[in-house]
Amino acid sequence: MKRTVAIVEDEPAIRDNYAAAFTREGYVVRTYSNRAQAMTAFHARLPDLAVIDISLEDEPEGGFELCRQLRTLSAELPIIFLTARDTELDAVSGLRLGADDFLTKDLSLAHLIARVNALFRRVDALRRPLEASQVIRRGPLTLDAERMQVEWDGQVVLLSLTEFWIVFALARHPGHVKNRQQLMDAANVVLDDNTITSHVKRIRRKFQSIDPRFDAVQTVYGMGYRWVD
Amino acid sequence: MSLRLKLLLLALATLVLPWAGCRYAQEMESALREGEQNSLSSVAETIASSLQGRRDLLYREPPAADTETADTDDAAPAPLSPPPSPYDIKPILLFAPPLLDGYTDDWPHDKSAWRYFAQGHHRFGVLTGVCERMLYVLLEVQDDHVVFDSPGASPLDPDTFGDRVWLGFDDAEGNQHQIFLSATGPGSITGRRIETGEFGQKSAVTEPRIVGAWISTPQGYRVELRVPLSMVGEHFGVLIDDRSARGALPVSYGTLRSDDLHTVGRLIVASPELTSYLRQFIQPGLRLSIASPESRLLAQADALAQVTELGPGRGLLARLYRRFVDRPATPRIIDATAAIYDRQHREVLGSLKVSQTEDRWLTLRDRALTRMLNSTLLISAIAVVAILIFAARLAVRLSRLRTASESALTRAGLVTTFPETGTADELGDVARGFSTLLSRLNEYTGYLRTLAGKLAHEIRTPLTIVRSSLENLESEGVSPSAGIYLERAREGSERLNAILIAMGAATRVEEAISGAERVSFALAPLIASAGASYRIAFPDRHFATELPDEPVTIQGAPDLIVQMLDKLVDNAVDFSPVGATITLRLTLEPQAAVVEVDNPGPPLSGTTRSRLFESLWQSRTGADSRPHFGLGLYIVRLIAEFHGGTASAMSLPGDSGARFRIRLAR
C-alpha cells in the first residue's frame, strides 16, 4: 500500500518539484498551498506524513498553527518542518509543537527523501517488537537505531531526527571526536557551524531535563564533539 | 587665527569710539574757543563803547575844564587833548606798591617805560608808576661824583648844598609847588619845601607825605620816592641839581624850568575811578585792562587767577585725557581788544583789552570730555568682554560639534544624540543638519548590515527551486552530454548556497549572541585546543601558542570565543605567506584577559586600522574562491563586545605583519 505524503507549501515551483520527487519514490503525494486547504483535507483523511512550510501565503507562521492543529488529529503522525529561515528561534518553536524534524530548504531532495524514508521506518519499527541486535547501550544510554529512539536511564528522550542522528554518530564510537562536517554528514544535513552548535546544545538540554548531571556530550574546542561514557 | 582672536580684534575696533570722542572734543573746543573769542570781543566792544568820550574817566583832568566842555555843547567838537610834550610824565601801572628802599627789584623790568634826560655828560633816567592813588618815582642818576649835604647843614645855606632832586607840580587850583630831596648819606629821605614867611624869611618845611630812599650805585645814586596823587594836579616834573662840590653852582636838568622850577610837562595818569569802573565788569577768570594809545597800561581789573570751583586736572584720568586732547601750542589765555574813542570818534583815547583764562571753559570741556570718554571706554570694555564671552561660547559650541561629528564618524555605532540641536541659531541648524545626516547614515548602515541577511533569505527560495528542479532533472535521466551541464549547474547552485550562508553569518552571530548563555570557563585550554585544531585545518602554516602559567577564567560563551578565534585565524592565514608562523597569545592584565593573534605579512595602514572592525568593510583586493563580505572582523568585534571587551588591530614592530588584540573582561 502506497503511503501518502502531504506537502503544504505556498511556493508552486518548490511544491511541484517536491511532489515530483516523492512521486518518483513511490509515494502518493497530495499538495496544499495554505493552511485552510490543508486542514479541510486532513479532516477528511489524514496523510501518513506531512511536510509543512512554516510561512504559508499570508500567514508568516501558519505552519506552526497547522502543526498544532494536526497534532490534535493525530499524535503519531510524522511531521517535518521546512523553512527558508534557519534561525534558532524557528527551530525551537517548531520542535516544541511536536514536529519530528526541522529542515531548511537548501537540503537536497535526496536528503529530504532519506529523512522521510527514515521516519516511515521508525513508524514501522515502533509497531514491531523490540529487536535487541539494533540496540546500542552505553551506560544509562539505550539507543535503538531501528526505531530511532533514545532512552536515558530508561526514560525516552524525545529527539528530532537530526538530533537522533547526531547522538547516534557520537555514541557509536565513544571518545572519538566528530567534527562538525562529520556530524552534518551523519545527520544528512547541510548546516553552518552555529546550527550544529545549537543542535548540540539542544541535545544536552533534552538529556539534562531527564538527568541534570548529564555530561556525555563534550565540546572539543576548535575540533568538534565526542561522547564520553 | 582662531575665531576667538578674530572676534577679539573685532571688539578692539570699538576703541575707535573714544578716539572719535577725542576728535569731537577737539572740534568742540575750537568751536567753543571761537564762540568765546566772539563773545569776549563783544564784551570788549560793549565796555569800550561805554567808555567812549569819557576822557575824564580815563585820565585825571581838571574837573573845571571837563564840566565846561561837557556843559557847553554836546555836539560841539570837544577840545582835543593837548599836544604831547617830551616832558610829559607817563607813569606805568604798578600792581603792588614797591618797598621804598632804593632797590629796583620790585619794579617791573620794562626798559621802554624809562625816560632819560641829559645835560652834557650828565644823565638821569626816570621811571614813574602809579599804585593805589600813589605816584612812585624811581630816579637813576649817573653821577661820577656824588655830593651829599654836609651833616647838620642848614637847608637854606647854599654852601652846604650837595646833589639834590627837585619835584615840581601844580595842585588842583593851579598853584605851583616845589619839593626838594637831599641826603647827608644813603638812607631814607623825606621831602622838604622852602616856605617864605610873612616877613620874607625863608624856612625849610618837611613835607611828610613825600618820602623815599636814597642809595648809592656804581654809576651814581638812585632815589625812590612816593608822592600821593592827591597832592598833584595836571602837571608834574623832576629836576636834578648836580654839583661837582659842596656849595658849587649846580648843573640843573630835568623836566622843570631850571630858572623858576615851574612845570612844563604834564602827568598823564589814569583817573582813580577808572579801576573801580572796570571792576564792575569783572568776573572770575576775566581781566580787563585799559592802555593809553601808546600802549601804556592805565588801569587793570584782574580776576584771572580766580577760576570756577573746579580747578584744572583733577584726577589722573582727566589729566590723561587732556594730554590726548590738548594741543600744546594753544595759548592758555584768550584776548579781545577794542579801541576807546572820543565823543566824535576822531581820536583814540585808549584801548581796552579783555583777557580770559581758558580754564573756565576748559573745566567745562574737561567735565564733558571725561564723562564721554568714561562712557565710551565703558562701552568698549563691555563690548570686548561681551564679544569675548560670545566667542568663547561659540568656540566651545563649535568644538563640541566637531568632537561629536568626529566621534560619530569614527565610532562604529553612530551617535544618536547630537549636541546643539536644540538651539535656534545657525549653529543649531548646522547641528540639526549633521544630526539628520547622521541618522540617515545610521539608517543606511543599519539597512546595509541587515541587507546581507535579508538578501540571503530572499534568494533562498528561488535557489531551492533551481536546486530541486536540477535534482528532479537528474532523476529523470539525461543524456551524458546534458549531464555535464547539469553537473555544472549544480556546482553553481552549491556555490550560491555557500555565498548565502556567508552572507547570513553576521545575522546568525548576532542571534547567537542574543541567545548565548554565559558560563565560567578556562580560556587557556580553550586556546590550546583551538590551536591544535588549526594545525590540522591549515597544514601549510605553523601555529605557536603562548599561554600564561596561571589559570585564566572568564565569563562568557566558549563557542563564541572559538568562533572569534576561527575568524581571526582565517584572517591571519589569508594575509600570511605559506609556511608562516601564526602566534596565538594569551596575556593577563588586572582587569582583562588579552588574546592576540599575530601574523607575518603586510602591515596595516591607518584607514584600514580604524575601519577594520566595521560591518561590510574589507581590505582584500585579490580574487578569492571563497566569498567575503567584510563581516569576519565585524563578528570578532561583536563577540569581543559581548564579553565586555574591545577589539583592536595594529602593525607588528618593524611593519613585519599585523596583530589583532582582543581584550576580554575578567
pLDDT tens for each residue of B115-124: 888 888 888 9
Cell numbers for B33, please give them: 574757543
Beta-carbon separation of A223 and B559 below 8 A: no
Poorest-pLDDT segment among A32-36, B96-100, B140-144, B284-288: B284-288
Q: Which residues of B touch A109 (CB under 8 A)?
A: 467-468, 471-472, 475
Q: Report the alpha-carbon distance of residue B565 to residue B325 in Å, rounded.
A: 84
Q: Report the alpha-carbon distance of residue B24 to residue B36 in Å, rounded.
A: 18
Half-sphere exposure of B327 (CA within 13 A, CB side): 9
CB-CB contact of B662 with B636 (8 Å) = yes
DSSP alpha helix (H) spans, A155-212: 161-172, 180-186, 193-208
**CB contact residues (below 8 A), chain B span 154-183, against chain A:** none
pLDDT reported for residue A39: 92
Q: Report the alpha-carbon distance of residue B149 to residue B141 in Å, rounded.
A: 16
Residues whose CB falls within 8 Å of the CB of residue A35, separated by 6 or more in sequence, listed in order: A8, A56, A59, A62, A63, A65, A66, A69
Q: Which of A14, A88, A219 sits opposite B465 (nearest CB)?
A: A14
- Chain centre to alpha carbon of residue B207: 71
Q: Report the alpha-carbon distance of residue B131 to residue B299 in Å, rounded.
A: 10
Instruction: Give pLDDT tens digits for B329-367.
Output: 555 778 889 888 888 888 888 888 888 877 666 666 677
Q: Report the alpha-carbon distance of residue B518 to residue B526 in Å, rounded.
A: 15
**A60 to chain B, minimum CA–CA distance in Å?**
14
Beta-carbon separation of A105 and B461 below 8 A: yes
Q: Report the alpha-carbon distance of residue A59 to residue B528 in Å, rounded.
A: 48
**Nearest-CA neighbor of A108 among B641, B195, B472?**
B472
Residues of chain A in Cβ contact (below 8 Å) with chain B: 11, 13-14, 17-18, 20-21, 24, 84-85, 87-89, 104-106, 108-110, 190, 192-194, 197-198, 219-223
CB-CB contact of B317 with B372 (8 Å) = no
Q: Which residues of A touch B509 (CB under 8 A)?
A: 194
Residue B644 confidence (pLDDT) above 80 = yes
Burial class (CB in 10 A: 0-12, 13-18, 19+), B198: exposed
Assign A65 a pLDDT band (cuts: 50, 70, 90). Answer: confident
Residue A137 confidence (pLDDT) above 70 = yes
**B461 to chain A, minimum CA–CA distance in Å?**
6
Q: Which residues of B touch A14 (CB under 8 A)?
A: 461, 464-465, 468
Q: What is this structure's pTM?
A: 0.52
Beta-carbon separation of B461 and A192 below 8 A: no
Assign A8 a pLDDT band (cuts: 50, 70, 90). Answer: very high
CB-CB contact of B349 with B55 (8 Å) = yes
Assign B65 a pLDDT band (cuts: 50, 70, 90). Answer: very low
DSSP alpha helix (H) spans, B477-557: 480-503, 505-514, 523-537
Q: Report the alpha-carbon distance of residue B75 to residue B77 in Å, rounded.
A: 6
Nearest CA in chain B to A195: B508
H or E stretch at B194: strand B187-196
Q: Which residues of A touch B500 (CB under 8 A)?
A: 106
The one-letter amino acid code at B305 reads A
The pairing of strands B519-522 and B297-302 is unpaired
Q: Which of B457, B461, B471 sits opposite A108 (nearest CB)?
A: B471
Beta-carbon separation of A108 and B497 below 8 A: no
Q: Report the alpha-carbon distance of residue B288 to residue B356 in Å, rounded.
A: 9
**B529 to chain A, minimum CA–CA distance in Å?**
6
The residue of A10, A51, A106, A112 whose CB has the most chain B CBs within 10 angstroms, and thus the best one to mutate to test that interface, is A106
Q: Report the alpha-carbon distance of residue B220 to residue B623 in Å, rounded.
A: 134
Q: Report the alpha-carbon distance of residue B25 to residue B326 in Å, rounded.
A: 10
CB-CB contact of B212 with B189 (8 Å) = yes
Checking phi first, is residue B552 left (phi over 0); if not, alpha (psi -120 to 50) or beta? beta
Poorest-pLDDT segment among B228-237, B295-304, B560-569, B592-601: B295-304
Beta-carbon separation of B515 and A88 below 8 A: yes
**B543 to chain A, minimum CA–CA distance in Å?**
14
Greater model confidence, B606 or B552: B552
**B489 to chain A, minimum CA–CA distance in Å?**
14
Residue A183 confidence (pLDDT) above 50 = yes
Burial class (CB in 10 A: 0-12, 13-18, 19+), B100: middle
Residue B75 confidence (pLDDT) above 60 = no
Beta-carbon separation of B467 and A192 below 8 A: no
Q: Whose grid coordinates read 504559508?
A: A56
CB-CB contact of B302 with B283 (8 Å) = no
Cell numbers for B601, please give them: 605579512
Q: Report the alpha-carbon distance of residue A18 to residue A4 in Å, rounded.
A: 13
The pairing of strands A101-104 and A79-83 is parallel
pLDDT reported for residue B415: 54
Poorest-pLDDT segment among B62-66, B142-146, B278-282, B553-557: B62-66
Cell numbers for B495, please give them: 556555490
Q: Report the alpha-carbon distance of residue B33 to residue B361 in Å, rounded.
A: 9
Q: Residue B451 — φ and ψ, nearest 5°?
A: -60, -45
CB-CB contact of B164 with B192 (8 Å) = no
Q: Which of A18, A21, A105 sits opposite B460 (nearest CB)?
A: A105
The beta strand positions in chain A, using DSSP E, are 4-8, 28-32, 49-53, 79-83, 101-104, 135-138, 141-144, 149-152, 155-157, 178-179, 217-220, 224-227
The one-letter amino acid code at B605 reads S
**CB contact residues (below 8 A), chain B span 60-119, against chain A:** none
In Å, what is the CA distance from B501 to each residue of A50, A60, B133, B509? Answer: 27, 22, 133, 12
Assign A38 a pLDDT band (cuts: 50, 70, 90). Answer: very high
Q: Report the alpha-carbon distance of residue B543 to residue B532 in Å, rounded.
A: 8
Q: Report the alpha-carbon distance of residue B311 to residue B303 in Å, rounded.
A: 15
Strands across the sheet containing A101-104 = A28-32, A4-8, A49-53, A79-83, A101-104
